[in-house]
Amino acid sequence: MLTATEPANLSAPLSSEGPRPAGHPKVAVGKIGVLIVNLGTPEATSYWPMRRYLNEFLSDRRVIEVNPILWKVILNAFVLTTRPSKSGHAYDKIWNRERNESPLKTVTRAQAERISARLEAMPGVVVDWAMRYGLPPIAERLEALVSQGCDRVLIFPLYPQYSAATTATVQDKAFDALKTMRWQPAVRTVPAYFDHPAYIDALARSLQGHLAELDWKPDRVIASYHGLPEDYLTKGDPYHCHCHKTTRLLRERLGWEAGDLQLTFQSRFGRAEWLKPYTADTIEALPGQGVKNIVVITPGFAADCVETLEEIAIGVAEMFHAAGGEKFSVVPCLNDSELSVDMLTTIIEDELQGWR
């Protein structure tokens, strides 16, 4: 029992050392885990690795909200027989052959390593990374953090704009893993950061830096976000609004006019109507409107991936030039740049308040 002359150090972390009853198992506690999570990646570009990845991704009820029995038939009879080869071809164009992995995996690992280095001044903070689909899985990395003594874990879905198909499914998977743990850590999740000042500033400075490197001036800048089916919006998903607010705040931060930065949505899948305007259709039409030189920025992607490196930088660029466009450039995602690591670390430090 504490006496009046023995004040408690309530801010000190718990220790796994110290006296324990005879035979008591070793317990590791007192650390804080930070788990950054991105979408996911196949392990190779050939048919079967692509099929495994797409099966996991497209079987997620958060991603595909149609009748599950009907969708299972469509998925196995049609989608998974043709799409793995098509998607594998796209991944092959941008594959990191030095490390034999997708750029998304390379960048996410680097983000975790650089954030960890920034947080070295916070003793007892352990940073790790995972993928919602593919490897490394969320459950495995959560278990690894707990085994290292993390009795508090901050889960950081790397999606600036919230959607049930992205942020929520990361949290679902994390909570599923927690259900299996006898001793669960305390958990926090990072909210969508679509309007966080550090995020808007990082986007603005990244775009300004890119424009300064060009020897030409764009007629227009396109802000392209990953699309969603329109009915997700009507069901209450805030993603559409978050994208519009990010674009408005970025435009205001740059001091641009309304028409200088145009919002579009990419990566449509299936026959349903998705959020509009569509990136590909919009950009293909621009040369006919006299807009011959454009820059594309993809604010919703925390790291370059097949949607930015292949779909936009290769596919949409070819479409634009075929339609009569002249100059086309894509701003790299924030990736593991200084701007990105500064921003992500700032958000993490904000969310760890009260735990440190």
Residue 19 located in a structural domain? no
**pLDDT reported for residue 272:** 87
Q: Work out the angle at residue 162's Cα, subtended by the Cα atoms of residues 126 and 274, and round it to the nearest 5 degrees.
A: 140
SS (H, E, C) the chain: CCCCCCCCCCCCCCCCCCCCCCCCCCCCCCEEEEEEEEEEECCCCCHHHHHHHHHHHHCCCCCCCCCHHHHHHHHHHHHHHHHHHHHHHHHHHHCECCCCECHHHHHHHHHHHHHHHHHHHCCCEEEEEEEEEECCEHHHHHHHHHHCCEEEEEEEECCCCCCHHHHHHHHHHHHHHHHCCCCCCEEEECCCCCCCHHHHHHHHHHHHHHHHHCCCCCCEEEEEEECCEHHHHHCCCCHHHHHHHHHHHHHHHHCCCHHHEEEEEECCCCCCCECCCEHHHHHHHCHHHCCCEEEEECCCCCCCCHHHHHHHHHHHHHHHHHCCCCEEEECCCCCCCHHHHHHHHHHHHHHCCCCC
Residue 81 located in a structural domain? yes
**Are residues 321 and 328 in contact, defined by beta-carbon separation less than 8 angstroms?**
yes
pLDDT over 80 at 126, yes or no: yes
**pLDDT reported for residue 24:** 57
Q: What is the pTM of this model?
A: 0.91
Instruction: Kindly tell me the burial class for residue 167, based on how many C-beta atoms sit within 10 Å of its own C-beta (0-12, 13-18, 19 or more).
Output: buried
pLDDT over 70 at 18, yes or no: no
Q: Are residues 59 and 154 in the same domain?
A: yes
**pLDDT reported for residue 6:** 40
Q: Are residues 267 and 325 in the same domain?
A: yes
**pLDDT reported for residue 19:** 62
Mean pLDDT of 265-278: 93
pLDDT over 50 at 57, yes or no: yes
Q: Are residues 152 and 261 in the same domain?
A: no
**pLDDT reported for residue 114:** 98
Output the CA torsion sign for 259, 261, 264, 266.
positive
Residue 5's pLDDT band, with cuts at 50, 70 and 90, is: very low
Residue 11's pLDDT band, with cuts at 50, 70 and 90, is: very low
Instruction: Give dist(CA 63, CA 227) in Å, integer.
Output: 12
Q: Work out the angle at residue 148's Cα, subtended by the Cα atoms of residues 144 and 152, and round it to the nearest 5 degrees.
A: 90
Residue 18 located in a structural domain? no
Percent of the chain with pLDDT over 90: 89
Q: Are residues 44 and 176 in the same domain?
A: yes
Residue 287 located in a structural domain? yes
Instruction: Give dist(CA 299, CA 226) in Å, integer.
Output: 9
pLDDT tens by residue, 149-197: 999 999 999 999 999 999 999 999 999 999 999 999 999 999 999 999 9
pLDDT-wise least confident of 48-52, 210-214, 218-222, 258-262? 258-262
Residue 283 located in a structural domain? yes
**pLDDT reported for residue 27:** 64
Q: Are residues 215 and 250 in the same domain?
A: yes
Q: Are residues 78 and 224 in the same domain?
A: no
Q: Are residues 84 and 202 in the same domain?
A: no
Percent of the chain with pLDDT over 70: 92
Q: Are residues 64 and 133 in the same domain?
A: yes
pLDDT tens by residue, 89-108: 999 999 999 999 999 999 99
Domain that holds residue 82: 31-194+338-351
Q: Are residues 117 and 216 in the same domain?
A: no
Q: Are residues 84 and 231 in the same domain?
A: no
Q: What is the CATH number of the domain that holds 265?
A: 3.40.50.1400
Mean pLDDT of 297-305: 98
Q: Are residues 320 and 295 in the same domain?
A: yes
Residue 220 located in a structural domain? yes
Residue 12 located in a structural domain? no
pLDDT over 90 at 135, yes or no: yes
Instruction: Give dist(CA 117, CA 155) in Å, integer.
Output: 18
**pLDDT reported for residue 1:** 39
Mean pLDDT of 255-278: 94
Domain total of the chain = 2
Instruction: Kindly tell me the burial class for residue 286, based on how many C-beta atoms sit within 10 Å of its own C-beta (0-12, 13-18, 19 or more).
Output: buried
Residue 9 located in a structural domain? no
Q: Are residues 344 and 203 in the same domain?
A: no
Instruction: Give dist(CA 178, CA 62) in Å, integer.
Output: 19
Q: Which two tokens stand for residue 40?
A: 């996911």
